[in-house]
Amino acid sequence: MTTPLDSAPGVRTRRLWSIRPRSDRESGDAVASNFALHWFPARSFKRSLAWNYSFWLGTVSAALFLLLILSGLPLMFLHVPSVERAYLSVKDIEYVVTFGSWIRAVHRLSAHLMVAVVFLHLVRVFLTGAYKNAHGRAQRREWNWVIGVAMLVLTLFLSFTGYLLPWDQLAFWAVTVGTNIAASIPAIGPTVRELLIGGRNIDQPTLLRFYVLHIVFLPGLLGVLFAYHMWRVRKDGGLARADQLGLAAKKVEQPPSPTKTYSLLGIARGTGPTVRATTLQAPDELVNSVPDLVRRISIVVLGTIAALSMLAVFVRSPLEEPANPLVTPNPAKAPWYFLWLQEIVTDTTFHIGSFTVNGAFLGGVLLPGALLVLLTLWPWLDRSPANEAGRWFSRNRRLQNAVFLLFVLGVLLLTLIGTFCRGPYWHFYWPWESWPQVPSRI
């Protein structure tokens, strides 16, 4: 079967015509005929492709997810999800398998950076009000925001489940601290913890459960949501900044075609009925998605992979002593992205006479749960004008942006305190102060 494109002179012999089009026609045909490029519109707004607008954080997070899959495949075959052999298999990856330590470093760095980049991407979307519908024609940006929040939560749990797999002291006690916070929920807390770890203690069922969640369920669900997220971006007309440029475009009247019939069933001839058509034209603002958009996506993806590959050469993955439930590290800390919760738990635990306020429930469950619900519902609570969507630091959004930034700075500050300033018995020490030598708790 041949197409008009195949019959064009010189096209059939050019195998890379869809990547290097020579005309606007070839650029549009590339998007229509290529399965991978079909995600993109034929033409894109030039200013939506600016490096300093979205910082391409969504593309970076997608590249990190791809890198996690590529580096995780060999680790999946080499790791043994058994409490007797998990630590030894990771040790073999580090010291026996060729390039094993580098592959593990790439996987670990990609996981940590993906948490940070997805969080920054959500911050960027909030500050630009990109969850708002500008013109309302079949747009559902608020639901794409909900999908984005769900993807952030899945990213956190994807990293959390992988944290336990090395089965060393760092992993074992970080997961212990994290699951104990879930156990503080009144009435159902112990049941939730048992469901999460597969029993009352972190043991073989926990390791196997986390392994399956980490390599099958969570990546699959995250991949499905990512595909829908990208489809929704295309359906909503691209980035929210494109809405501003579209609204600012001029309407130009088009004359009716002399060869087109404008009546029902083709009975009339010519252009008898009066027909008026208008189109939005912004020729100076539009560029072909192929190659302009594809080229920038390729630069971001390949640059991310190259940067992580080089960074993994110098930053090794930690591997402490084998997990020992009888020896508690002092201090025992949650993974770094949950340290702000652990810090809130400490700050909200206090005594009023003989009554003790449960900080694990108040600061570890109730407060973050309320913040997550508020964050999810915010597109429906935001009353700023729709025409402010896609603008950095809009005047009509000053208050909510300021409150949101205070919340983000608070999370970052608590994370830094938990990382660098909490020592034995969770006492506060300045980073330049030395910790006293205390034995591990048994």
* Band (4; pLDDT cuts 50, 70, 90): very low
Q: How many Å apart are CA 271 and CA 8, to the nearest integer?
A: 32
| Beta-carbon-side half-sphere exposure of residue 96 (alpha carbons within 13 Å) | 8
Of 53-67, 127-141, 386-400, which range is least confident? 127-141
pLDDT at 386: 80
Q: How many Å apart are CA 163 and CA 170, to the nearest integer?
A: 9
Q: How many beta carbons lie within 10 A of that of residue 157, not counting itself?
A: 16
Residue type, 245: L
pLDDT for residue 434 is more than 60:
yes
pLDDT at 279: 47
Residue type, 355: F
- Please state the rounded mean pLDDT for residues 25-46: 77
Does the domain at 43-246+285-426 match CATH 1.20.810.10? Answer given as yes
Of 4-8, 145-149, 355-359, which range is least confident? 4-8
Q: Does the bond joining 368 to the residue before it have cis omega, within 30 degrees of 0?
A: no
pLDDT for residue 277 is more than 50:
no
| Beta-carbon-side half-sphere exposure of residue 312 (alpha carbons within 13 Å) | 24
Helix H segments across 183-203?
Answer: 189-197
pLDDT at 391: 87
pLDDT at 2: 46
| pLDDT tens sequence across 65-123 | 999 999 999 999 999 999 999 999 999 999 999 999 999 999 999 999 999 999 999 99
Those residues whose C-beta lies under 8 Å from the C-beta of residue 169, and which sit 6 or more positions away, are 320, 321, 322, 323, 324, 327, 329
Kindly state the DSSP code that residue 319 receives in the 8-state scheme.
-
Torsions phi, psi for 414 (to 5 deg): -65, -35
Burial class (CB in 10 A: 0-12, 13-18, 19+), 377: middle
Category of 72 on φ-ψ map: left (φ > 0), alpha (ψ -120 to 50) or beta: alpha
Those residues whose C-beta lies under 8 Å from the C-beta of residue 357, and which sit 6 or more positions away, are 348, 349, 350, 351
Answer yes or no: are the C-beta atoms of 125 and 144 closer than 8 Å: no
Answer yes or no: are the C-beta atoms of 101 and 95 closer than 8 Å: yes
| pLDDT tens sequence across 174-228 | 999 988 888 877 778 888 899 989 998 999 999 999 999 999 999 999 999 999 9
Q: Which of 402, 405, 394, 397 is nearest to 381 (CA)?
A: 397
The structure tokens 């608020």 sit at 142
| pLDDT tens sequence across 279-334 | 445 567 788 888 888 899 999 999 999 999 999 999 999 999 999 998 888 888 99
pLDDT for residue 130 is more than 70:
yes
Q: What percentage of the chain reaches a pLDDT higher than 90?
A: 51
Beta bridge mates, 277: 254
Of 30-34, 55-59, 78-82, 405-409, which range is least confident? 30-34
Average pLDDT, the chain: 84
Beta bridge mates, 369: none
pLDDT at 203: 94
End-to-end CA distance of the chain: 74
| Sequence ranges of the domains in the chain | 43-246+285-426, 250-281
* Band (260; pLDDT cuts 50, 70, 90): low
Which tokens belong to 186?
A: 């009144």
Burial class (CB in 10 A: 0-12, 13-18, 19+), 289: buried
Answer yes or no: are the C-beta atoms of 245 and 139 closer than 8 Å: no
The structure tokens 């770094």 sit at 336
* Band (142; pLDDT cuts 50, 70, 90): very high
Those residues whose C-beta lies under 8 Å from the C-beta of residue 422, and which sit 6 or more positions away, are 331, 333, 343, 428, 429
Q: How many Å apart are CA 250 and CA 243, to the nearest integer?
A: 13
User: Measured on CA atoms in the order 212, 152, 335, 309, is the torsion positive or negative?
Assistant: positive
pLDDT at 238: 79
pLDDT at 310: 97
Beta bridge mates, 250: 281
Q: How many Å apart are CA 171 and CA 319, to the nearest integer?
A: 9
- Please state the rounded mean pLDDT for residues 328-346: 90
3-state SS record for 23-78: CHHHHHHHHHHCCCHHHCCCEEEHHHHCHHHHCCHHHHHHHHHHHHHHHHHHHHHH
